[in-house]
Structure 1
Amino acid sequence: MIRYTGRTVPWRALGAGAAAGLLLAGSARLFADGFSPWLALNALRAAALTFALGLAFLLDDPARRTTATVPVRRRARQALRVAWAAPFAALYWTAAVLLVPADLRPPVGAVTVEAAAACALALAGAAAALRRTDEPEPGTGVAAALLTLAVLTALLDPWNLFAPPEDPHWTTAHERWAMILTAAALGWATWSREPTTTLRR
């Protein structure tokens, strides 16, 4: 089961998200003379978002109508996929952070909470789409919704989620990011359960 699950993980989508994110993070090193700490922070935030967009495809299962009848519960199948993706995500994020020059690098712990929240939202959205529809590959719609949410939040930013480190709201913003992370993780845990009734189109 573990080996089979590893073959079904959408590595291309994850790899595409990681490649785009590393290019964004690496731009801080390539153009270090023209970069400020604020630009480096937003490059890392964009890198976190691109990987989260790739992660939105993690639960896609073209054979969903076949695997729905297997004895292994949906939560276990999804958890195995997450377990396969987690080391790759950790390696990717470490590389992205290290690509930013040390003198431009924002507080790593705080930005990591933002990245984890974005990834958790992608997983929660994918799990919710699988639970509420019979679509076997909802990743495209989930990624589009996540991107729209990120753009609208960044433009409006009613809760100062994207405050810079010198902003007095920095600590409060990351307390809110931690709450988003917790809520998204709970959402995934809830929506990854098997539905109690058969879903129809």
Structure 2
Amino acid sequence: MRWALLRELAPPALRSARLLPPAIGTVLGSAVAVAPVVAGVELEVHDVVLLLRCSMVIMALGAAFVLDDPTGRTTEAVPVSRAWVSMLRCLAAVTALGAAWTVQLAVAPLAVPAEARAALPSASLTLEPVTVVAWALVLGSLGARFTAEGSGGVLAAPGMVLVVIAVMLLPEEAAPFAQPQSEGWERSRWIWTAALGAGVLGLGLLLREPRNRGRGWPGSQSRTVEPQPSVHADSS
């Protein structure tokens, strides 16, 4: 019952979302990552890592808009919790960004000499965009609560820029943007893992709908209180 309803809900939920900013972010980010390969420029491993990190920030800025809901006020009475609509949009964004990131990981290392490509830790590097996108969704969901018409991306995008700048200014022992095969690389993986856990937890809490909204799956029983007619005694 639930999965059937979700399949029916997915098309309108995606059509009403702001998909243009995530699409633009994905295209621009991918262009940044693969441009050296297209141009035939040879790079070092740390240069490719830098380009991939720039790409993930650009894509995350676009993802911050995916939870915007201009139709929010006109869809108050829907058969499911709005949290499920938001989760569908998050899933669609993560799927699209994951596909783009996979292509970038396959193409970007081609700018590095073949004998040096093994130094690029693709698997552990993927932890970074997953975390950044999770926090972009957190900021987007948080911003939607403080803006009219659910335009959380307007606050989330500059917030993401400020967060990235602040992270880059952290001391070396706490810096998550370590270079592969450096002394701080393994330590930075633990930092990213902790940040990812906090982001997923925060997103889960922000997507939860207050209980007093009174929405649930069809067939779920909700207790309602019917108003009792008031009795007025006639005095004459």
TM-score > 0.5, shorter chain as reference: yes
**Alpha-carbon separation, structure 1, partners of 2:138 and 2:171:** 22
Q: Spell out, residue by residue over 1:121-174, the C-alpha distance to the aligned partner (whole angstroms, 9 max, x if none).
A: 011111222345555111021011001111221244551211101211101101
Q: Spell out, residue by residue over 1:38-86, the C-alpha distance to the aligned partner (whole angstroms, 9 max, x if none).
A: 1110100111111111100010011112223324212111111122223
Q: CA contact under 8 A between 1:131 and 1:192: conserved in structure 2? A: no
TM-score (norm 2): 0.76
Partner of 2:150: 136
Partner of 2:128: 114
Alignment identity in percent? Answer: 27
Are residues 1:90 and 2:98 paired?
Answer: yes
- Could you tell me how far 1:196 is from its partner in structure 2? 5.8
Q: How does 1:163-178 map to 2 (within 5 A)?
A: 163-178=178-193
- Could you tell me how far 1:7 is from its partner in structure 2? 1.1
Are residues 1:62 and 2:76 paired?
Answer: no
Are residues 1:149 and 2:163 paired?
Answer: yes
Q: How does 1:1-201 map to 2 (within 5 A)?
A: 1-31=9-39, 33-102=41-110, 103=114, 106-131=120-145, 134-157=148-171, 159-195=174-210
**Alpha-carbon separation, structure 1, partners of 2:192 and 2:49:** 15
Q: Give 5+ residue unaligned stretches, structure 1.
A: none
**Alpha-carbon separation, structure 2, partners of 1:6 and 1:80:** 8
Q: CA contact under 8 A between 1:25 and 1:44: conserved in structure 2? A: yes
Q: How many residues align?
A: 198
**Alpha-carbon separation, structure 1, partners of 2:28 and 2:195:** 24
Q: Give 5+ residue unaligned stretches, structure 2.
A: 1-8, 214-236
**Alpha-carbon separation, structure 1, partners of 2:197 and 2:148:** 27
**SS across alignment from 1:62:** coil
Q: Spell out, residue by residue over 1:162-187, the C-alpha distance to the aligned partner (whole angstroms, 9 max, x if none).
A: 11012111011011101111110100
Indicate the structure (1 or 2) with the bigger Cα radius of gyration.
Answer: 2
> What one-letter code is carried by the residue in structure 2 that aligns with 1:193?
R
> What one-letter code is carried by the residue in structure 1 that aligns with 2:64?
A
- Could you tell me how far 1:192 is from its partner in structure 2? 0.7
Structure number with greater CO (CA < 8 Å, separation at least 6) is 1
**SS across alignment from 1:100:** helix
